[in-house]
Amino acid sequence: MSDLFLGIDIGTSGCKLALFDMAGKTIMQAAEPYPVYYPAPGRAEQDANEWWAGVCRSLQRLWARGADPARIAAIGIDGQSWSAIPMGFDGKVLANTPIWMDTRAADICAVWEKRLGAEQLFAVSGNPFSPTYTLPKVLYWAERDPELLSNTAYILQSNAYIVYLLTGAVTMDYSMSYGWHNFDQQKLRYDASLSRELGLPDRFLIEPVPSCTVVGQVTAAAAKATGLLTGTPIVAGGLDAACSTLGVGVTEPGQTQEQGGQAGGMSICLDHPRMHPKLILSPHVTPGRWLLQGGTVGGGASLKWFAEQLACKGGPAPENIFEELSAAAETAPAGSGGLLFLPYLAGERSPLWDAKAQGMYFGLKYAASYAHLVRATMEGVAYALRHNIETAAEAGAAVSELYGTGGSANSHIWTQIKADVTGLPMRIPASDTATTCGAAMLAMVGTGAYPSCRAAADGIVKIRRTHTPNPANAALYQHLFEIYGDLYRSTSESMHRLYDLQSTL
């Protein structure tokens, strides 16, 4: 009996696979790491072949533990954003893909912005012309490696690459279209005039399909490589952040996923596209919905740094370190005695987009305790979240409630802090597997197990706890948030000077 659904997540640090039943219960999981390569300054690459190898090994682990491929009714695949996988006419990968951290195309972006105008590019795509997106990477190759592009049959995204190897189908789903600035996010089609001006061949412009569309079935060759059954349906899948957003039940306007993984951020659900030059716009994996997203450097990684470098003095961290840090934070007062933390430990993404931004603790006194430092770190991440929410409000995107996901959502004190800082209710779903669950939900909808993404969310997502803002704390955080914003504005020039000096040390 085919009663289970498989979600495959092609992340940055590794792939994760999970089997779910119709109620969203996690039956079994497997994961496999793979590296990021940094061959030169500004470059961050991965070998898509290693993604596939990781998927195959993870599936073998599932079979070894007793999973039955005959029970898999359908498969959904999500992946990291802004890949650019050059596929040859023989169906082979021609080069490593620059991933979302890769900035090699910065100079190319400047040339094209001057040639076409940043306003025109933004008006079509609703996104800044940043080198991290897919299109600038392709334009980089056109300028620096034209032979590679002449041998390229098509450019695939991360989820589409796995779909291709499983089914032989060349696809792109709507949620991944935002990597191409020549794709009109309002009309949901390529802008023919802009595509011509950019010199893009038609074969690169893959027509997108809804994420829950069944695009093929597992081929005999793929079945031999993976152990999956020939004929198992595969849906197009989508962007990892969008699948995570679906996986926590966000399908209606105003509902917002709060990302509590290593990075921080939010994804606001919209019923029509709203653009802001400092945020990220993409279609949702839920048809008829868009996401206005903000992504920050400071998420769970900030507390991880604190745990490793301060709490554990650079040594190994015990398994319960985050529970210990949460317990410490609960003993400190709201506002941490006036201690502020700027979580810009690797620059900052939205809404600052400043690679030279510097992290800091501000307001240190002898009275500051270990607990104050822990809580201030958590509060700094919450301030970064609020900064993105307030930026989205400038575009008319209102947030009604937050749905927390990621490891940070397991900390009751941290989620309460986020509710207090933002002034919004914070709902925590029962599952820690939101991303793979969202991918599996697309497979459920695509094969008719649920009639819609909304129905799947209603049937699967369960809220295990809710945090409501504490009015007294919210009032205090209002004052501290204003100072938090002033700190970057008043010190950014010094941050940049220090960054430039650091690069010489």
Q: What are phi and psi of 177, to 5 degrees?
A: -65, -20
What's the angle, vertex CA 301, arms to CA 297 and CA 303, rounded to 5? 125
In angstroms and rounded to an integer, the radius of gyration of the C-alpha atoms of the chain is 22
**Domains defined for the chain, CATH in brackets:** 4-240 (3.30.420.40), 241-295+397-467 (3.30.420.40)
Per-residue pLDDT of the chain (505 residues), as tens digits, is 789 999 999 999 899 999 999 999 999 999 999 999 999 988 999 999 999 999 999 999 999 999 999 999 999 999 999 999 999 999 999 999 999 889 899 999 999 999 999 999 999 999 999 999 999 999 999 999 999 999 999 999 999 999 999 999 999 999 999 999 999 999 999 999 999 999 999 999 999 999 999 999 999 999 999 999 999 999 999 999 999 999 999 999 999 999 988 889 999 999 999 999 999 999 999 999 999 999 998 888 899 999 999 999 888 878 899 999 999 999 999 999 999 999 999 899 899 999 899 999 999 999 999 999 999 999 999 999 999 999 999 999 999 999 999 889 999 999 999 999 999 999 999 777 999 999 999 999 999 999 999 999 999 999 999 999 999 999 999 999 999 999 999 999 999 999 999 988 8
Task: Label residue 129 left, alpha or beta by phi (over 0 means left) and psi (-120 to 50 means alpha).
Answer: beta
Taking Cα atoms as reference points, which of 387, 358, 363 lies closest to residue 375? Answer: 363
**Model-level pTM?**
0.93
CA distance 88 to 155: 9
Q: Which amino acid is at 340?
A: L
Rounded (10°) angle between helices 453-460 and 434-446: 130
pLDDT at 261: 83
Q: Give pLDDT, residue 1.
A: 74
